Structure 1
Amino acid sequence: METILYIEDDPVLRENTREMLEFSNFKVLTAKNGKIGVDLALKHSPDIILCDIIMPVWDGYKVFQVLKENRLTYRIPFIFVSAKVDKEDIRSGMNLGADDYLTKPFEEEELISTIQSRLEKYSKLQENYSFPLKNSAIAPVNNLSDLKDYIELNGEYYDFKRKSIIYREDENANYIYLLEDGIVKNYKMDEYGKELITGLYKKGDLLGFYSFGSSSLYAETSTALEDGMAYRILSLEFRKLLKLNPGLTLELADLFSENLTNLRKHLLDTAYGSVLKKTTYTILQFAENIQETPEDSIKISRSDLASVAGISTESLIRSLSQLKKDNLIDIEGRNIKILDLKKLHTIR
């Protein structure tokens, strides 16, 4: 039976919710303010914490901060519960690193579903480590899969809008990012102000690391091609993980090498390929490396596609028209659907 700590200053809501949770076979601890809630969390180490924001003594943000700074409680899933529904309030809670956010009043089904979802996610993450996450100072991060789990579990929530800058070239490389949703492009600017695309990233990809041993600057600019979100940790924390886990360093070195090989191929295609070849290569990049399956429609603006291909939007549109005429692709509005993947690979 999982234990839930519910911190809420409203006595009626607190008791009604307790009964609701107990009816769903949870063991429930309750606290009427944030200070009592922290004391209970440290004493009982619950499986998950639900916490109101506006409370006497300590508010929900203070509770979250204190628990995340304690090695005995910082991994416990934490859900803010509040009548506040403003997007800025939700973003504030999520940016702190909370796992979820429930707005009052909530339905029983919504409450139970959210709790079970977070418990299942935590359980899956826990299975990937050689010893339990809870009550441990830091679990081993032996490989890239462990690193992604670590960033997702401990990282700061970071959302972004289409065309927003995630980081800029020559800024201090303060964060390592794990992309959870959306598509991101990295690029450098040449002396004439033209973009040189250096990478495309999708869900599950890491970006932002440029040095294994010391602080560094971002070597390129990172921009969102669509709305999305990521988790991020400080680069200092990332470097500490590398020192503690030599196996992770080796895997990242292999990833660097693979990325460099792909970048060289992209630069050669960009430098010497025809406009049609550049267009085709870009479509294949999205289809095979960004989309979940090559058959999915590519839903990217023409200007963004042209930017990735390194050609003008007008040239891209002419090339797309030619590929459609040859029955290699189909176009519906801004969506591009590949009809013959094999023949696209033969375009020169």
Structure 2
Amino acid sequence: MENSVLLIEDDLVLAENTRELLELSGYRTFLAHEGKTGLKKAYKELPDVIISDIMMPELDGYEVYTALQQNRHTRNIPFIFLSAKSNPADVRRGMNLGADDYITKPFSEEDLILTIEKRLTKRAQLEGEKSPGRKNQFHLEEFKEYVRTYGEQIEAEKNEEIFMENRMACSVYLLEHGMVKTYRLDEYGKELITTIPQKGDFLGFYSYKKSNHYPESAQALERSILYRLSHDEFLQMLEQNRDLMLEFAEEITHSLDVLRTHLLEMAYGSVLKKTASTLLEFAEKVKDDNTPVLKVSRSDMASVAGISTESFIRSLSCLKKDGIIDIIGRDIKILQLEKLTEIH
């Protein structure tokens, strides 16, 4: 049976040309020229994939997607946004809602078909894993490869927000490259950094409930690359695979142990010890270098250490005087990692 595609596009010429491309590629195609009609056709036809323009009369693409997510028959249909190249903010907003992918206009036939096939393959694999008698064989590292293959790649520039506290937790992220912080703000607006994930770490998963909100924010400390999977799909994969769930629980337990140790150091460690521990924590993120250079702001590192920026800077001066680190402009070069570990 041929797969079906619902295309919602208010540009009549583009819509007709795209329908022709889809039908020539073997897809049964439904067409709607505005959001309300598209929503009705989605409910009636239950297509295998939905492609929708963003800017449309009456209901825009965001509203269409939100409505589809509220219906149990349509919430799992792969949804792809169409967006003009000149509007990257529109794409980011759509993906933050939880859409599966996007295509920028103008697009080639190859881009269109490859994007659809990628989403259909992903959906077929998920449905196959749900079939009675079939066991999902994913382990944690294999699951990370799955996310890299089928997840949406996100590039976050330095200081760009990845997700924000109290927003709907619609996505889970796998950090592939760069450095990210998660943090919370207290009632006075003071920032407390909670974690500094490293390559291969997941962030953004906080609850096994279907609907929840992010309890903290995440921001790129440098240009970073992440892969994003919808929260529902991430949860579905865990629920289908007991071994994967246990491995993930083990990861969470380890993270809690690290956090407890960090909190104890913040409560009882000396200022110099807190500074040294923080430098070691950041050095771990660039462990491929024997003399790592840290390009993180003083205020961010002070927040991780749980001390004032001024105290952190004074401690850096002491460490530099002892030849343990060097300060090159705004960067910190660690010269003697072993001596850092010996500081009490």
Q: Which of the numbers 232, 249, 272 marks the counterpart of 1:276? A: 272
The one-letter code sitting in structure 2 at the alignment partner of 1:265 is T
Which residue matches 2:15?
14
The 5-angstrom pairing of residues 284-303 of structure 1 reads: 284-288=280-284, 290=285, 293=288, 297-303=293-299
- CA shift in 2, pair 1:330/1:307, >3 Å: same
Q: Which of the numbers 172, 191, 197 marks the counterpart of 1:178? A: 172
* Structure 2 contact 274–305 (Cα < 8 Å) conserved: yes
Which residue matches 2:33?
33
- CA shift in 2, pair 1:301/1:162, >3 Å: farther
Q: What is the deviation of 1:282? A: 0.9
Q: Name the stretch that deviates more: 67-76 or 263-272.
A: 67-76
Give 3-state SS (helix, strand or coil) of 1:311's partner.
coil
Which residue matches 1:205?
202
Q: What is the deviation of 1:42? A: 6.2
**RMSD between superposed Cα atoms in Å:** 5.5
For 2:319 and 2:59, locate their aligned partners in 1 and report how far apart those are by CA, in whole Å.
Answer: 62
* Structure 2 contact 181–221 (Cα < 8 Å) conserved: yes
Q: What is the deviation of 1:309? A: 1.2
Which residue matches 1:116?
114
For 1:233 and 1:307, locate their aligned partners in 2 and report how far apart those are by CA, in whole Å.
Answer: 29
* Structure 1 contact 75–153 (Cα < 8 Å) conserved: no
Which residue matches 1:80?
81
- CA shift in 2, pair 1:180/1:14, >3 Å: same
* Structure 1 contact 4–49 (Cα < 8 Å) conserved: yes
1:32-83 Cα deviation digits (max 9, x unpaired): 435368647964844x432223557865345434544555653343222245
Give 3-state SS (helix, strand or coil) of 2:15's partner.
helix
- CA shift in 2, pair 1:216/1:113, >3 Å: closer
For 1:14 and 1:265, locate their aligned partners in 2 and report how far apart those are by CA, in whole Å.
Answer: 58
- CA shift in 2, pair 1:193/1:89, >3 Å: closer
Q: What is the deviation of 1:304? A: 1.1
* Structure 1 contact 11–32 (Cα < 8 Å) conserved: no
The one-letter code sitting in structure 2 at the alignment partner of 1:184 is K
1:87-139 Cα deviation digits (max 9, x unpaired): 664454334322334454x142xx74476357447746865x58257x99xx9
Give 3-state SS (helix, strand or coil) of 2:196's partner.
strand
For 2:116 and 2:337, locate their aligned partners in 1 and report how far apart those are by CA, in whole Å.
Answer: 39
The 5-angstrom pairing of residues 1-348 of structure 1 reads: 5-18=6-19, 27=27, 29=29, 31-33=31-33, 35=37, 39=41, 43=45, 45-46=47-48, 48-55=49-56, 59-61=60-62, 63-65=64-66, 67-69=68-70, 73-83=74-84, 89-104=90-105, 106-108=106-108, 112-113=110-111, 116=114, 119-120=117-118, 123=121, 127=125, 129=126, 131=128, 166-167=164-165, 175=169, 178-180=172-174, 183-186=180-183, 198-201=194-197, 204-207=201-204, 209=206, 222=217, 224=219, 226=221, 233=231, 250-251=246-247, 253-288=249-284, 290=285, 293=288, 297-324=293-320, 328-348=324-344
* Structure 1 contact 8–30 (Cα < 8 Å) conserved: no
Task: Give the number of equivalent residue pairs.
Answer: 324
Give ranges in structure 2 of 5+ residues lacking alignment.
none
* Structure 2 contact 163–218 (Cα < 8 Å) conserved: yes
For 1:40 and 1:216, locate their aligned partners in 2 and report how far apart those are by CA, in whole Å.
Answer: 26
For 1:272 and 1:208, locate their aligned partners in 2 and report how far apart those are by CA, in whole Å.
Answer: 30
TM-score, reference length from structure 2: 0.63
* Structure 1 contact 302–316 (Cα < 8 Å) conserved: yes
The one-letter code sitting in structure 2 at the alignment partner of 1:317 is I
TM-score, reference length from structure 1: 0.62
Q: What is the deviation of 1:265? A: 2.0
The one-letter code sitting in structure 2 at the alignment partner of 1:29 is T
For 1:164 and 1:67, locate their aligned partners in 2 and report how far apart those are by CA, in whole Å.
Answer: 24
* Structure 1 contact 188–198 (Cα < 8 Å) conserved: no
Q: What is the deviation of 1:9? A: 3.6
The one-letter code sitting in structure 1 at the alignment partner of 2:181 is V
The one-letter code sitting in structure 2 at the alignment partner of 1:209 is Y
The one-letter code sitting in structure 2 at the alignment partner of 1:33 is H
- CA shift in 2, pair 1:287/1:3, >3 Å: farther
* Structure 2 contact 22–28 (Cα < 8 Å) conserved: yes
- CA shift in 2, pair 1:196/1:141, >3 Å: farther
Q: What is the deviation of 1:269? A: 3.0
* Structure 1 contact 22–28 (Cα < 8 Å) conserved: yes
The one-letter code sitting in structure 2 at the alignment partner of 1:315 is S
The one-letter code sitting in structure 2 at the alignment partner of 1:304 is D
